[in-house]
Structures are given as structure tokens and as C-alpha cells.
């Protein structure tokens, strides 16, 4: 043990001053090493705790000793700045999803990134009543949305339209869209109010996929092929583009008739 009661040199004889000075210099040189903390402490004072084999330092408020590292171990047992090797369960702050910097990625960040990279299947909805089938809460990171039709039909001859929307509501204008029917001959129509499913007449049950892809900003491209599954031989082609005013977060299949058959779902990634 190399400690002194305090670091104040006693005011005594020359020999006493020399002895007191040497004692305190040895205490400083050995970081006040001992099995117990020095009785008199100072802010930022070092103490080599020989009971626990730790180097400790007094905090700035002189209220407690804080462990710095392990005695007798290279680099006090601390990780080196270059090429450190960690043990135990090291932790790091979790970066915001989508961060693309040299910041370390912990397992929570990676798990979120992997989950966001996988396609997410929505909740299937019946399309056998009403004039619209709506999907909301599409996440802002989605760059591709597939709208899946399974035997979808209406009770009339109006052309259903697929409309996209933002948090402000559905976008009902500004589409540059075409819908074609191939059934022996080709019938094509254009639309500025949505991506049209040009089914030409009621009673058809349509199945297929319309894929929506984000090309840049808030501009989306639509393309899809659907076919009848009710004995009528016909193919329906959907294509077009629309620039939304904000981030896509919803879509709706609408008709001025009533949906009377089938189911619809979405898959986003």
C-alpha cells in the first residue's frame, strides 16, 4: 500500500518535511494504491484499488470514484481505437431507419432494415359490396405496391379505377392512364381520373395484378394484366403514371356501380 492520509506536506523539521514529501510523491507515483480508498480525496484524483484490481478516478464533484480500467492489463483492458475486439454484449445507439452513413449498425437497426426489405402482405378485403375498396397506412418507405385481384366483379358496366392518395386524401385528377381490353379485337380508352380497368361490361370476374412502382419523388408508374375467370375470354391491360402531391399512403379501387364479387389485397415493399 502506498498512500498518505492527504497530499499536504507537514510543516515540521527538515527531515520531517523530506519524509512527508517522499511519502506523498510515492503515493502519487503509485496512484494512491491500496485496499481501501484514500481517506482524503480530491477531484480527478487517481486510486489504484488493489482489492478489485481496478484503476479508479475521482469525479469532478469529488463525490465518488469512477472505474477507469483494469490494473496490470494492456491498455487497462479497454478497447483500442484501431481494430478493437469486443467481448460480452457491446451496445450502440440505434440509428434511424434508412440511415446511410459510417455509423455503426446494431442488431436492432439491422432487424428493422431486414423487415423493411421484405415484402409485406396486407389484409385481404372482400369486394362484394359498396363502390370502393380502400387500403390505408401504406408506409412511407414503400417503393413498390402490388394490387392483387381475385375474381373481382361489379354489377354494372362502369369502368373501375385505381386511385392513389396521400395523407390529404385520394388523388382524383392528373393521371395519364390507358386501359385496354383484348377479346378478339382491342378496345382502348384513356383516363385522367385513375388507372382504369377497362372491363367494358359488367358481370366479369377479374383476376391478376396491377403493380405500382415509384420512379422518383412522388411519381408512380402503373402496369398490370388481368384476365376473366368467368368463362369469358378477355385480357385487360392497365398502364399509366401520376405525380402525387406528397408521399403515397393509401389507394382505392372505385366504381360508380357496386362491387359484387371477389377479394383484393396489396403487397408492398
pLDDT in tens for each of the 269 residues of the chain? 578 778 888 888 988 888 878 888 887 888 889 999 998 999 999 999 999 999 999 999 999 999 999 999 998 988 888 988 888 998 999 998 878 899 989 899 888 888 777 788 999 999 888 999 999 999 998 999 999 999 998 888 888 999 999 999 999 999 999 999 888 788 888 999 999 987 645 567 889 999 999 999 999 999 999 998 766 778 899 999 999 999 999 999 999 999 988 999 999 99
Range of the domain at 35: 1-79
| 70 lies in the same domain as 159 | no
Q: 248 CB contacts (<8 Å, ≥6 apart)?
A: 138, 142, 145, 164, 165, 166, 214, 218, 220
| 124 lies in the same domain as 73 | no
| 160 lies in the same domain as 69 | no
| 57 lies in the same domain as 162 | no
| 50 lies in the same domain as 153 | no
In this structure, the chain runs to a length of: 269
| 131 lies in the same domain as 243 | yes
> Distances in Å between the alpha carbon of 103 and those of 93, 95, 97, 140?
9, 8, 12, 23
State which of 79, 102, 136 marks the end of a domain: 79
pLDDT at residue 184 in the model: 77
- Give a yes or no: residue 106 inside a domain: no
- Give a yes or no: residue 103 inside a domain: no
For the whole model, what pTM was predicted?
0.63
Q: How far apart are CA 165 and CA 171, in angstroms?
A: 5
Beta bridge partners of 174: none
Q: How many domains does the chain have?
A: 2
| 232 lies in the same domain as 147 | yes
- Give a yes or no: residue 87 inside a domain: no
Amino acid at each position: 500500500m502506498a498512500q498518505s492520509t492527504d497530499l499536504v506536506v507537514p510543516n515540521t523539521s527538515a527531515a520531517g518535511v523530506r519524509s512527508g514529501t517522499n511519502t506523498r510523491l510515492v503515493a502519487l507515483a503509485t496512484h494512491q494504491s491500496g485496499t481501501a480508498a484514500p481517506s482524503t480525496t480530491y477531484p480527478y484524483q487517481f486510486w489504484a484499488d488493489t482489492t478489485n484490481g481496478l484503476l479508479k478516478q475521482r469525479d469532478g464533484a469529488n463525490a465518488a470514484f469512477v472505474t477507469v480500467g483494469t490494473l496490470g492489463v494492456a491498455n487497462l483492458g479497454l478497447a483500442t481505437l484501431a481494430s478493437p475486439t469486443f467481448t460480452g454484449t457491446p451496445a450502440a445507439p440505434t440509428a434511424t431507419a434508412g440511415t446511410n452513413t459510417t455509423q455503426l449498425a446494431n442488431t436492432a437497426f439491422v432487424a428493422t432494415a431486414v423487415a423493411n426489405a421484405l415484402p409485406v402482405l396486407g389484409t385481404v378485403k372482400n369486394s362484394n359490396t359498396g363502390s370502393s375498396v380502400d387500403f390505408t397506412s401504406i408506409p412511407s418507405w414503400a417503393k413498390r405496391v402490388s394490387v392483387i385481384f381475385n375474381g373481382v366483379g361489379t354489377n354494372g358496366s362502369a369502368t373501375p379505377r385505381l386511385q392513389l392518395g396521400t395523407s390529404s386524401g385520394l388523388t382524383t385528377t392528373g393521371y395519364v392512364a390507358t386501359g385496354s381490353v383484348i377479346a378478339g379485337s382491342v378496345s382502348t380508352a384513356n383516363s385522367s381520373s385513375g388507372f382504369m380497368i377497362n372491363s367494358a361490361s359488367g358481370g366479369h370476374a377479374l383476376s391478376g395484378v396491377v403493380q405500382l412502382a415509384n420512379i422518383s419523388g412522388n411519381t408512380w408508374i402503373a402496369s398490370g394484366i388481368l384476365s376473366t375467370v368467368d368463362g369469358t375470354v378477355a385480357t385487360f391491360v392497365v398502364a399509366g403514371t401520376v405525380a402525387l402531391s406528397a408521399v403515397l399512403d393509401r389507394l382505392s379501387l372505385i366504381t360508380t356501380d357496386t362491387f359484387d364479387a371477389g377479394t383484393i389485397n396489396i403487397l408492398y415493399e
